[in-house]
Amino acid sequence: MHALRCLAGNEIRNALGSRIRGNLRSQRRLLSYVLGIETSCDDTGIAIVDTDGRVRANVLDSQQEFHTRYGGIIPPRAQDLHRARIESAYERCLAEAQLQPEELAAIAVTTRPGLPLSLLVGLRFARHLARRLQKPLLPVHHMEAHALQARMEQPSVIRFPFLCLLVSGGHCQLAVVQGPGRLALLGQTLDDAPGEAFDKIGRRLRLHILPEYRLWNGGRAIEHAAKLASDPSAYDFPLPLAQQRNCNFSFAGIKNNSIRAIRKQEWKERTPPDGVISNYGDFCAGLLRAVSRHLMHRTQRAIEYCMLPEVRLFGDAPPTLIVSGGVANNDVIYANIAHLAAQYGCQSFRPSKRYCSDNGVMIAWHGVEQLMQDREGCLRFDYDRIDIQGTAAFAESHEEAVTAAALKCKWVQPLG
Ligand code: KG4
Ligand code: ZN
């Protein structure tokens, strides 16, 4: 009985594998559809992307409004909300794409890194679907999916390998990206992620009290508030890790200095406990400048490292630079990084804003990239062996080599 089941599994794998690969290679390009499921944190995202990178459906159920009430994500509640919403998100996704489940070629699902309770909901649902439909299950690394997302919109311009700055609510990483499952870390945050720092500072500043920011995340509110600055240089923050000649990041110092500065201003102005300091725009502008500057410095060193004659990670050409993750939505940060990249002749890109933050599209696209890699073993039918991981490193790390190179750079100045 067991042998028979294995044989059937292999037959399905071979038939499906050659059909998908055949479709991808054929001149007339028959399209295959990949379903992507994202539940790593507080967004239930389900999407269908075809092998030409067209989004056929994109459903995103955000839990932001719920968690904002409690001042942060409560993992068991996030899990309950994913559970309550995932089935209907899937139904809506199929309806939007006007597809039958049998027409899907594969199911891609975020398995790592993320909140374990949230990841479990997505994986169990994906496993159940894949088993019922007898489709391959493709496990996806959430940060890799952010890194690859920009290729969906411009696959012929953004070619492997490229350099990527990943900036989100849980991560800050610089990596060389060679393909799905083939990322090499150059540096990462030693403490907070920039989005996390924005969220905590925004909360402490009480921006959510202002009606226009009530339902916004901290990063978005801070970006908007910074535009209201009348004296953008009123607040200045020390540069983190100035003495460490590597590509790591640190945002805890900026966060602590921010909270001290807010407290001092509140005391000075006698701000009531349910009030916001009067010059919050100036404060946000100073904060954005400090974060941009720090991100620029570490990215500049990464570019210089990759271009060292003895390293030449991208051959003779300057690397293409991708900025992705929720914080890549920020126009000030992105403009500064693009400005830096241009000084080295690097082209820079970010995904469309609707795909910078967590969503099901990036997971589906990572699934497409896995299929396009055309590697034996990428079609997974061993459903029960695929599991979640709360934390997950990339395949390789150049961190030690970057630290050993100890590059001293002549800093490119931020814009404005
Ligand atoms: O990638 P993402 O959606 O989720 C994680 O994987 O963490 O990123 C969410 C983060 C939040 O911390 C949020 O504050 C930040 O992205 N964010 C922004 C902006 N929009 C979202 N940060 C700065 N400026 C923005 N416009
Ligand atoms: Zn993310």
The protein residue whose alpha carbon is closest to atom 8 in ligand 1 is: 326
**Residue 178 φ/ψ, nearest 5 degrees:** -105, -15
Sheet with 321-324, side-by-side order of all strands? 348-349, 321-324, 162-167, 172-179, 182-188, 396-397
Ligand having the closest approach to the CA of 145? 2
Region at 403 (left for phi over 0; alpha for psi -120 to 50; beta for the rest)? alpha
Contact criterion met (CB below 8 Å) for 15 and 379: no
* Whether the CB of 169 sits within 6 Å of ligand 1: yes
Q: What is the pLDDT along the chain (416 residues), one digit of tens a residue?
A: 333 333 344 544 555 556 565 555 553 456 799 999 999 999 999 999 999 999 999 999 999 888 888 878 899 999 999 999 999 999 999 999 999 999 999 999 999 999 999 999 999 999 999 999 999 999 999 999 999 999 999 999 999 999 999 999 999 999 999 999 999 999 999 999 999 999 999 999 999 999 999 989 999 999 999 999 999 999 999 999 999 999 999 999 999 999 999 999 999 999 999 999 999 999 999 999 999 999 999 999 999 999 999 999 999 999 999 999 999 999 999 999 999 999 999 999 999 999 999 999 999 999 999 998 866 556 788 999 999 999 999 999 999 999 999 999 999 999 98
Ligand 1 contacts CB of residue 58 (under 6 A): no
Q: Can you tell me the distance from the alpha carbon of 36 to that of 140, in angstroms, rounded to the nearest whole number?
A: 9
Ligand 1 atom closest to residue 217's alpha carbon, by position in its atom list: 14
Reported pTM: 0.94
Which atom of ligand 1 is found nearest the CA of 142?
A: 6
Helix axes 360-372, 142-153, angle to 10 degrees: 80
Sketch out the chain's domains with CATH numbers: 31-157+356-385 (3.30.420.40), 162-352+396-405 (3.30.420.40)
Neighbours of ion ligand 2 (CB under 5 A): 168, 358
Pocket flag, ligand 1, residue 351 (CB < 6 Å): no
